Amino acid sequence: MSVMNILKSRRAVRNYEPKEVETEKITRLLEAAVWAPNDRLREPWHFYVIRGEAKTRYEQIAREFLEERFPTKPHLVKESIAVLESTPLVIVVTSDIIPGDEASSEDNEYAVACAIHSMWLAAQELGLGLVWRTRGIGLARDERLHKLIGSPENRKIVGSVFVGYPAADSPETKRTAIEDKTTWL
Ligand SMILES: Cc1cc2nc3c(=O)[nH]c(=O)nc-3n(C[C@H](O)[C@H](O)[C@H](O)COP(=O)(O)O)c2cc1C
């Protein structure tokens, strides 16, 4: 498939078969990630692979987070936890913060975003589905997730990557015409 076709056919996959992702495939995803461009080769990423007992702990903190956030919406909490429980694998991805150097810390985050996109495309080739989550059960801005992964202060969580074998076709998405998003100077 051409690069253009791969880019256009990539979708956010949120429903998975009840099947574990093989360690070999996880390694391939990580390998794809680390070949992303990154300023001055700082390689500013770290990957926390969450499955098994660690995933049970992730589910516990997600429940706490959701119950605090949506105290009047127990159905929403239940549905979100069901999504998490049916996700075979979560990879939390962090970006190195460089104290006193905001510009480089920002560039590090851009590099980590590229790395996650590379994983997303590689997942497709491996027959896997993936979605990058920050909100809700992504827990990217919740201190509890920081504690769970045991990450030092100088690493920022950029997202939680949910992975599994796709259970169904993902909905089509659209993009605005490039003419509306481009200024030719
Ligand atoms: C930085 C970032 C954060 C995202 N956070 C979430 C999220 O919290 N929950 C979710 O379901 N999808 C999340 N997504 C996936 C987008 O919703 C998805 O890419 C978008 O709906 C377009 O669908 P497509 O990727 O299939 O074209 C996120 C994507 C990015 C790049």
pLDDT at 107 over 90: yes
What is the predicted pLDDT for the residue at 114?
99
* Pocket-testing residue among 69, 109, 130, 131, ligand 1, by greatest number of atoms within 8 A of Cβ: 131
- Tell me which fold the domain 11-168 belongs to: NADH Oxidase (3.40.109)
Domain borders along the chain are 11-168
List pLDDT tens digits, range 41-52.
999 999 999 999
What DSSP element (H or E) covers 111? helix 102-125
Q: Dihedral sign, CA of 72, 57, 122, 42?
A: positive
What is the predicted pLDDT for the residue at 3?
94
- Determine the distance separating the centroid of ligand 1 and the alpha carbon of 22, expressed in angstroms: 24
Of all protein residues, whose CA lies closest to atom 11 belonging to ligand 1? 133
* Residue 130 bridge partners (DSSP): 12, 163
| Confidence band, pLDDT 50/70/90 cuts, at residue 11 | very high
**Phi, psi angles (nearest 5°) of residue 51:** -155, 175
Which amino acid is residue 111, in one-letter code? Answer: A
Q: By the 8 A CB rule, do 6 and 154 touch? A: no
pLDDT at 12 over 90: yes
Q: pLDDT > 90: what percent of the chain?
A: 98
Residues 6+ apart with CB under 8 A from 102: none
Q: Which residues line ligand 1 (CB under 6 A)?
A: 11-12, 14, 131-136, 138, 159, 170, 173
* Residue 89 bridge partners (DSSP): 163
| Confidence band, pLDDT 50/70/90 cuts, at residue 54 | very high
- Nearest Cα residue to 141 out of 46, 65, 75, 87: 65
What is the predicted pLDDT for the residue at 27?
98
Structure token digits, residue 144? 């509890």
Of all protein residues, whose CA lies closest to atom 29 belonging to ligand 1? 132
Q: Cα(37)–Cα(59) distance, rounded to whole angstroms?
A: 33
What is the predicted pLDDT for the residue at 1?
84
What is the predicted pLDDT for the residue at 168?
85
Of all protein residues, whose CA lies closest to atom 20 belonging to ligand 1? 12
- Determine the distance separating the centroid of ligand 1 and the alpha carbon of 185, expressed in angstroms: 31
Indicate the SS3 state at residue 34.
helix
pLDDT at 108 over 90: yes
